[in-house]
Amino acid sequence: MKLKQMRKAAALLAACIMLLAGGGLYAHDQGQEQHGAGMEVHFLDIGQGDATLVKCGSHAMLIDAGENDKGVAVQAYLQSQGVESLDYVIGTHPDSDHIGGLDVIIYKFDCRQVMMPDYSKDTKTYRDVLAAMDSKRYKNTLPKIGDSYKLGDAVFTVIAPNKAYDSANDNSIGILLQYGEKRFLFTGDAEEEAEQDIAGNGLDISCDVYQAGHHGSRTSSSDELLDAADPAYAVISCGENNDYGHPHARTLNNFRRRGILVYRTDEQGTIVAKTDGETITWNCAPSESWQTGSL
Ligand SMILES: [Zn+2]
C-alpha cells in the first residue's frame, strides 16, 4: 500500500474507533500529546516569493517574508491575525524574494529565535536583515539536521540543508512541520541536488502538504523528492505573470500525474490550511487551471 493510502486507512480506522468509544472524547493518536486549538498554515499572497505564517494556539512562526517591498504587507497580515510576537522566524536562504521583508518583521515583532543558513550574500538585502538582528541583539540559530523545535502543540524538524552547497537555493533551510497526524513539508528553493540529499538523509519526509520547492520551478520537485514526500496537496507560492514562468509545465504535469491537488497564490491569493491533527480544511477549492506561468 502506498503511504498516502496507509495514512488514509489509519485515519479511517481511528475515526471508527472514536465512534465506537462514544464520540471521540478521547481524541488521541499514537501516543502524541492531545490536540489543542489546531494549527493554521497561511501561504501569503505576496507576489513572486515566499512568506508563510504558521499559527498554533498562541504560538506563531514565520517562514520567509517576501521581497523587500513586501515587509510591511507581511507585517500587516500578521497583525490582522493577532500575531504580536514570533516564536520562530526562518529565513530559508538569503535571496531577496525570501528575506527581503525580513528586516521589517524583525524590527516590528519580538522574535524568540531567528534561523538562517550558514550562507551569506553580499547584498543590501542581506545586510539589512543582519542590521535588524543586531539592533535587537538577536543571534542567529544555525539549522542542524534532525533538530526538532516545539511550536505550541506542533513540532518541526530541520531536514535541510544537508551540507554546504555553492548555490543559495540549495542552502535553503527545509523543515517538516507536524501537528497530530498531519505533516507539512517546506524546502525553500532547494533544487535537485539538495532535494536528493533531503530524500536520502534518513528522515521521514512523508507529508500531507508540500510547499512546492522554488515556486514550482522545473529545477525542483524532482521525482526523488516527490517519491519520498508523497504529498496529497501542493501549494505553489508564486507571483502572477512572474518573470520566471513559474510554475513550470514539468512540475504541474508531475503533480497532476501523481494525483496531487494544487493550490496557488498567483491564482487564488492567500491560501490557508487548517488542521485539527486529523483532517485538513482549506479556504478555497484546489486550482484546476494547470496553467504554467507565462514567459
Ligand atoms: Zn525564491
Measure 292 CA to ligand 1 centroid, in angstroms: 17
Query: Per the domain annotation, does 239 fall within a domain?
Result: yes
pLDDT for the residue 294? 77
On whether residue 292 sits in a domain, the answer given is no
Residue 131, in any domain of the structure: yes
Q: For residue 187, what are the contacts with CB-CB under 8 A and spacing of at least 6?
A: 159, 160, 172, 174, 194, 195, 198, 211, 213, 220, 225
CA of 257 to the centre of ligand 1 (A): 25
What pLDDT is stored for residue 27 in this prediction? Answer: 37
Residue 24 lies in a domain: no
Ligand 1 center from residue 191 Cα (angstroms): 11
Q: What is the CA radius of gyration of the chain?
A: 18
pLDDT for res 28: 37
Q: How far is the CA of 189 from the centre of ligand 1 (A)?
A: 5
Evaluate whether residue 273 is within a structural domain. yes
Q: What is the distance in A from the centroid of ligand 1 to the CA of 275?
A: 26
pLDDT in the model for residue 140: 98
Residue 11 Cα to ligand 1 midpoint, Å, equals 34
Opening angle at CA 276, ends 210 and 116, nearest 5? 45
Q: Total domain count for the chain?
A: 1
Instruction: Please state the pTM of the whole predicted model.
Output: 0.88
287 falls within a domain? no
| Per-residue pLDDT at 159 | 98
Using the CB atoms, write b or e for 59-90: b if 16+ within 10 Å: bbbbbbbbbbebbebbbebbeeeebeebbbbb
Q: For residue 194, how far is its CA from the centre of ligand 1 (angstroms)?
A: 15
Which structural domain, as residue segments, surrounds residue 109? 35-282
What is the CA(49)–ligand 1 centre distance, in A?
5
Task: Give 36 Cα–ligand 1 centroid separation in angstroms.
Answer: 33
Q: What is the CATH number of the domain that holds 235?
A: 3.60.15.10
- Cα of 106 from ligand 1 centre, angstroms: 20
Indicate whether 288 belongs to any domain. Answer: no
**Ion ligand 1, residue ranges at CB < 5 A:** 97, 189
Nearest of 231, 235, 228 to residue 207 by alpha carbon:
231
| Cα 98 to ligand 1 centroid, rounded to whole Å | 6
Give distance in angstroms: CA of 66 to centre of ligand 1.
9
Q: Is 7 inside a domain boundary?
A: no
Q: Which amino acid is at 195?
A: E
pLDDT in tens, the chain (295 residues): 455 555 555 555 554 444 444 333 333 344 344 457 899 999 999 999 999 999 999 999 999 999 999 999 999 999 999 999 999 999 999 999 999 999 999 999 999 999 999 999 999 999 999 999 999 999 999 999 999 999 999 999 999 999 999 999 999 999 999 999 999 999 999 999 999 999 999 999 999 999 999 999 999 999 999 999 999 999 999 999 999 999 999 999 999 999 999 999 999 999 999 999 999 999 999 999 999 997 6
Whole-number Å distance, alpha carbon 5 to ligand 1 midpoint, is 32
